[in-house]
Structure 1
Amino acid sequence: MTSARPLPQYLVSRFHGWKATTYAESSAWYRRLVDEGQRPRAMVISCCDSRVHVSSLFGADSGEFFIHRNIANLVPPHAPDGLQHGTSAAIEFAVTALKVAHLVVMGHTSCGGVAGCHAMCSGHAPQMEEQTSYVGRWMDILRPGYDRVKDLPEDQQIAALEQQAVIVSLENLMSFPFVAEAVERGTLALHGLVQDIANGSLLQLEPSGRFVEI
């Protein structure tokens, strides 16, 4: 006995539409992806938020991006403690096995995870402080970012923290030995982006530490 149930009909209909159009027009390409394996040029770490759609944003085809999504597009620090780390495992596979040339951390505006982190760190979400809160313990990753923005005017803090989610993640990426080695060799480049969902713009993290619109 399983708790699984059939898909709702609207998803079934959309699948059949995709199979009859997108797949039918590119079936040889999909078979090639299976026969030759995937060779993505980049890994993208983005948020689970349903409004974030990396493939559409960059017009990417199947096989182009190795995409990992989690709450608030965070990368935890390197911690080989024997526990299960889905994000760390995805990074390891992308860098050491797939040999991606680019690793992009892409944040976004109006991020619920970041807002939750701000509420928790400012003392307005005690439920997230509980050890049983999966979201709270995940958002602990962003506490160093909160410490950097907490003295800003209150109406600027969350937007700044959304950028810190990208910066902290890039800093944590460099704590992985295989990432640092690939960056040092010049075979891997790290990138930081923030998507403004409302106006469609994309901000890029510059070496100066500022986010500039592309």
Structure 2
Amino acid sequence: MQQFPERLLNGYRNFMSGRYADERERYQSLAEGGQRPHTLVIACCDSRSAPETIFDCGPGELFVVRNVANMVPPYEPDGQYHATSAAIEFAVQALKIANIVVMGHGRCGGIQAALDPDMEPLSPGDFIGKWMGLLRPAAGQIQSNNLMTQGERQTALERVSIRNSIGNLRTFPYVRALEEQGKIALHGAWFDISTGELWVMDGKTGDFARPSRQAAEVAAESEPEPADD
């Protein structure tokens, strides 16, 4: 029988003697009263870009769904299996979250795969290739731009993908309705692993910029109220 990874067991022991011990009452309250996270974060599976770490959030604050390249597919109630769509449905309809953040990051392997038409599938199922097909039109346009370096193409598609996912979020009828009512806000963000910088998307122009302290304070004041239960 395979042994459970010792690194994880040691980490769990540290968690129990550290963070859990410090926040025992909070965990007990969350267990008894249920979760009420304020934000859904759709992030990449990449081990270097964990939202709870980047945003320094405690238990119960974020509802996080992670997939390859932090993508949101369009609304497709077709009877198939849709893990990301299921998470969006639960966060919006059951948890009544006030914000959805699509957070991409630099050096994303999924985006790199989308930009490389000659990349061989990792398995006969080619699940990554099919998933990244959601970006095929944009990837083709960016890859054919000979004025950009490969690094610039990579960053460009990482950010275009975030805008594309926010557009797909608006194909979910309940997300679109709540946004129009001012009860939910959609945000885009891009994290640079190498520098630790966070770039936030302007909701009107789609441009990405590093937020100033003043801009962050204004954004906090304008957050929508959670929807009524």
TM-score (norm 1): 0.92
Identity of aligned residues (%): 39
Check 1:10–1:75 CA distance in 2 against 1; reply closer, same or farther (3 A cut).
same
Paired residues in the alignment total 207
Q: How does 1:1-214 map to 2 (within 5 A)?
A: 5-120=2-117, 124-125=118-119, 127=121, 132-152=125-145, 153-155=147-149, 156-206=152-202, 207-214=204-211
Q: Read off the aligned partner of 1:173 and give its amino acid letter.
A: L
Check 1:144–1:179 CA distance in 2 against 1; reply closer, same or farther (3 A cut).
farther
Q: What stretches of structure 1 move > 6 A for 4+ residues in a row?
A: none
Whole-angstrom distance in 2 between the partners of 1:81 and 1:73: 22
Q: Show structure 2 runs of 5+ residues with no match.
A: 212-229
Shift of 1:126: 5.0
Shift of 1:127: 3.4
Higher mean C-alpha displacement, 135-144 vs 101-110: 135-144
Mapped contact 2:98–2:185 kept (Cα < 8 A):
yes
Mapped contact 2:115–2:140 kept (Cα < 8 A):
no
Check 1:70–1:172 CA distance in 2 against 1; reply closer, same or farther (3 A cut).
same
Whole-angstrom distance in 2 between the partners of 1:148 and 1:38: 42
TM-score (norm 2): 0.86
Whole-angstrom distance in 2 between the partners of 1:191 and 1:68: 15
Give 3-state SS (helix, strand or coil) of 1:164's partner: helix
Check 1:110–1:30 CA distance in 2 against 1; reply closer, same or farther (3 A cut).
same
Whole-angstrom distance in 1 between the partners of 2:95 and 2:199: 27
Shift of 1:148: 4.4
Q: Read off the aligned partner of 2:93 and give its amino acid letter.
A: T
Mapped contact 1:40–1:98 kept (Cα < 8 A):
yes
Whole-angstrom distance in 1 between the partners of 2:90 and 2:16: 29
Q: Read off the aligned partner of 1:142 and give its amino acid letter.
A: L
Check 1:98–1:135 CA distance in 2 against 1; reply closer, same or farther (3 A cut).
same
Give 3-state SS (helix, strand or coil) of 2:116's partner: helix
Q: Read off the aligned partner of 1:127 and give its amino acid letter.
A: P
Higher mean C-alpha displacement, 139-148 vs 52-61: 139-148
Whole-angstrom distance in 1 between the partners of 2:13 and 2:163: 41
Whole-angstrom distance in 1 between the partners of 2:6 and 2:143: 47
Q: Read off the aligned partner of 2:105 and give its amino acid letter.
A: H
Give 3-state SS (helix, strand or coil) of 1:136's partner: helix
Check 1:15–1:109 CA distance in 2 against 1; reply closer, same or farther (3 A cut).
same
Mapped contact 2:40–2:64 kept (Cα < 8 A):
yes
Shift of 1:41: 0.3
How big is each residue's C-alpha offset from its partner over 1:164-195, in whole Å with a ceiling of 9 and x where there is no partner? 11011001111111111111111010000000
Shift of 1:114: 0.2
Mapped contact 1:131–1:137 kept (Cα < 8 A):
no
